[in-house]
């Protein structure tokens, strides 16, 4: 059995364990039900509306930059493995790659993503990047 099959077994047994651990209390615990037992927790007052609502877009912008970054960084692992044989050309390529990556941060910075201004510009009806950009370039 090679290492990755073993790892799959660890995952499978982990799932089984997790389920078993959640079954034990079903056997041991009391079952009481009051009027409020199953209500959503909101500091003691009744909940107002559902929680599945629209959410600040700033979070999604981070998710977008992250996806771009993370995938690119994974490419650097094979590059790091092949680095010793690659000579100065390897260094130049890694450097160019990293500089282009850094441009992504620079772009997002200029657009004001990191300043978290979405919440402070309620009057703006334009897209988040535009409104934040207009504010931050100043």
Partner 1 sequence: MPDTVVNLVDSPALGVLIGIAGVMAALTVNVLFLVWLERKVSAWIQRRMGPTEVGPFGMLQTIADMLKLISKQLITPRHVDKPLYHIAPVFVFVPVVAAASLFPFDEHVSLQNLDIGLVLVFAFGGLGIVGIFMAGWGSNNKYALLGAMRAVAQNISYEIPLILSTLSVVLMVNAMGDANTNGMNLAQVASMQHDKGFWFVLVQPVAAVIYFIAALAETNRAPFDIPEAESELVAGFHTEYSGMRFALFFFAEYSNMFIVAMVATVLFFGGWSGPLLPGAMWFFLKTYAIVFVMIWIRWTFPRLRFDQLMSFCWLVLIPLSILNLLVTAFIARAV
The contact set with partner 1 (CB under 8 A) reads 1, 3-4, 6-7, 9-11, 13-15, 17-19, 21-22, 24-26, 28-32, 37-43, 47, 50-52, 55-56, 59, 62-63, 65-66, 69-70, 73-74, 76-77, 80-81, 83-85, 87-88, 90-91, 94-95, 98, 101-102, 105, 108-109, 113-116
Contact 110, 125 (CB under 8 A): no
In the bound state with partner 1, the residue whose beta carbon lies nearer, of 14 and 130, is 14
In the bound state with partner 1, the residue whose beta carbon lies nearer, of 102 and 127, is 102
Least Cβ distance, residue 58 to partner 1 (angstroms): 8
SS3 18: helix
In the bound state with partner 1, the residue whose beta carbon lies nearer, of 64 and 127, is 64
Least Cβ distance, residue 39 to partner 1 (angstroms): 7
Contact 74, 19 (CB under 8 A): no
If one counts every other C-beta atom within 10 angstroms of the C-beta of residue 11, the result is 10
Contact 127, 88 (CB under 8 A): no
Measuring CA to CA, which residue among 38, 57, 60, 56 is closest to residue 47?
38
């Amino acid at each position: 059995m090679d290492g990755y099959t073993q790892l799959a077994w660890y995952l499978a047994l982990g799932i089984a364990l997790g389920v078993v651990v959640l079954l034990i209390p079903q056997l041991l615990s009391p079952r009481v039900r009051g009027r409020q037992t199953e209500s959503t927790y909101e500091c003691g007052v009744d909940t107002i509306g559902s929680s599945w609502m629209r959410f600040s877009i700033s979070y999604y912008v981070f998710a977008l930059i992250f996806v771009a970054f993370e995938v690119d960084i994974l490419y650097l692992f094979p590059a790091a493995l092949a680095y010793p044989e690659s000579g100065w050309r390897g260094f130049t390529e890694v450097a160019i790659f990293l500089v282009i990556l850094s441009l992504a941060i620079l772009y997002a910075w200029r657009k004001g993503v990191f300043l978290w201004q979405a919440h402070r510009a309620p009057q703006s009806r334009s897209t988040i990047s535009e409104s934040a950009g207009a504010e931050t370039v100043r």
